[in-house]
Each structure stands twice: as C-alpha cells, then as structure tokens.
C-alpha cells in the first residue's frame, strides 16, 4: 500500500528554519506553485487558466526545460508570475553530494536568475541547505495534492485540495504532461475563491 503524505513532516521546519513551508497569516490567503515546467504541452494552458482567475503563481522551473524553452520562461514572467529555480537536472539531494548538488542549482540559475529555489522531490541535505540558503529563499510546501501521480487521479487530488487547504497554505502542483493539474485547476480555483480565499505571492 502506498503511503502518501500531503504535508511535510512536522520536524522539517526544525531542520530547515529559514525555509518557507507556509505563509504565516490568519487571513484566507493561499500561494500556488507549479513544479517541473516549462513545457509547451502544459504551461500555456495553465497560464490561460490563471489569467482567467487573475491568480499569480510561482513556477519552479527545471533548468534543462528553461534552457530548451526560454520563450515559456519569459511568458511566465511577462504575465506577472515568478519563475523559480528547481535545479538543472532535477537532482535528488539525498543521492547527490553537496558540491554537485549546489553546482546543479547554480547552473540552473543561468536560465532562472531569481531568488526562489525548491528542492526537487523536496529532498535536500542539511549541508546543501546551509550553502544554498545564503543565496536562495528555499521553498517547500504545506500541501501536496499528488497531481503528478496517475494512480491517484484528478478527482482525488481535487478532493485533497478542497479538504486540506488552510490559511497560508503553500500548494504544489505540477506543470508537465501526465499531471492532472490542467484538469483540476479551474475547479479548485473556483472553489477556493467562492470560499473566500485569495491567492498571493510570498
């Protein structure tokens, strides 16, 4: 049986005290993020949906994809969103030595020069974190909807978002073929806005 954790481990904030997991607020605000893009099959549609709802988001882009599709990175930024760094080759920090991992992230900065970084898979060692947080704001998440998992399905991902979202939730979805984010995004935004939430950038 697959165990899915919709929120990070309670102790994660102790290990990474300067990282962002959730916006501290008592207001009904949310922050929406997308990992793994840009991709010509998914990014334009996501941008169109976000534009319809006047919502801004952070797109944590893969450096290899950003190098391949620089026009999509520019489109993300032109429409008022943030293009964040998601590493160049989507390296797993738990399986990569610190020097190589940091070099991978810095290489991605050539194509994604902003200050926000999200570790691929959410996996980063303390030594990697200590070095990278000198240069980047490291961003994890408060709510994972498993939209990337075809076995989970769009309907279940949408249910997770509706039931588990809370004030200040930093939500991670995915910008890549095979993700259900394009399918569920309109319904989620419609539901969240009707329930009084508004979307902000950190």
- The answer to whether position 14 is within a domain reads no
Q: Give residue for tokens 């050539």.
A: 110
What integer best gives the mean pLDDT of the chain? 96
Say what the pLDDT of residue 131 is: 98
Residue 174 among the catalytic residues: yes
DSSP state, 147?
Answer: T
Q: Mean per-residue pLDDT for 55-61?
A: 98
- The answer to whether position 190 is within a domain reads yes
Under 8 Å between Cβ of 84 and 118: yes
Q: What is the CATH number of the domain that holds 72?
A: 3.20.20.370
Q: Mean per-residue pLDDT for 109-126?
A: 97
- The answer to whether position 134 is within a domain reads yes
Say what the pLDDT of residue 108 is: 98
- The answer to whether position 64 is within a domain reads yes
Q: Which of 104, 174, 175, 190 is catalytic?
A: 174
- The answer to whether position 13 is within a domain reads no
Count of structural domains, the chain: 1
How far is residue 154's CA from residue 128's CA, in Å, rounded to a whole number? 34
Residue 54 among the catalytic residues: no
Q: Examine the pLDDT at 115 and tell me if it is beyond 60.
A: yes
Q: pLDDT digits over 133-179, tens only?
A: 999 999 999 999 999 999 999 999 999 999 999 999 999 999 999 99
Say what the pLDDT of residue 3 is: 76
Q: Which of 35, 39, 104, 142 is catalytic?
A: 35
How far is residue 70's CA from residue 159's CA, in Å, rounded to a whole number? 34
- The answer to whether position 162 is within a domain reads yes
3-state secondary structure (DSSP) of residue 68: helix
- The answer to whether position 11 is within a domain reads no
Give the rounded percent of residues in the chain with a pLDDT score beyond 90: 95
Under 8 Å between Cβ of 130 and 157: no
Helix (H) or strand (E) holding 141: none
- Determine the structural domain holding residue 161 and report its residue range: 20-199
pLDDT band at 1 (very low <50, low <70, confident <90, very high): low
Q: pLDDT digits over 77-104, tens only?
A: 999 999 999 999 999 999 999 999 999 9
- The answer to whether position 1 is within a domain reads no
- pTM across the whole model: 0.96
């Amino acid at each position: 049986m697959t165990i899915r954790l919709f929120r990070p481990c309670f102790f994660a904030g102790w290990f990474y005290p300067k990282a962002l997991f959730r916006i501290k607020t008592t207001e009904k605000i949310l922050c929406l993020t997308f990992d793994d893009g840009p991709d010509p099959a998914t990014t334009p549609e996501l941008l169109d949906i976000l534009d319809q709802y006047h919502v801004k988001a952070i797109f944590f882009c893969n450096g290899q994809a950003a190098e391949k599709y620089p026009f999509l990175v520019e489109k993300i930024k032109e429409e008022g969103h943030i293009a964040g760094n998601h590493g160049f080759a989507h390296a797993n920090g738990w399986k990569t030595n610190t020097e190589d991992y940091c070099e991978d992230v810095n290489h991605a900065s050539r194509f994604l020069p902003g200050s926000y970084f999200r570790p691929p898979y959410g996996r980063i060692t303390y030594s990697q974190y200590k070095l990278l947080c000198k240069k980047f704001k490291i961003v994890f998440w408060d709510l994972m909807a498993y939209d990337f998992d075809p076995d989970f399905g769009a309907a279940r991902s949408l249910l997770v978002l509706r039931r588990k979202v809370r004030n200040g939730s930093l939500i991670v979805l995915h910008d890549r073929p095979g993700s259900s984010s394009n399918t569920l995004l309109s319904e989620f935004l419609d539901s969240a806005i009707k329930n009084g939430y508004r979307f902000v950038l950190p």
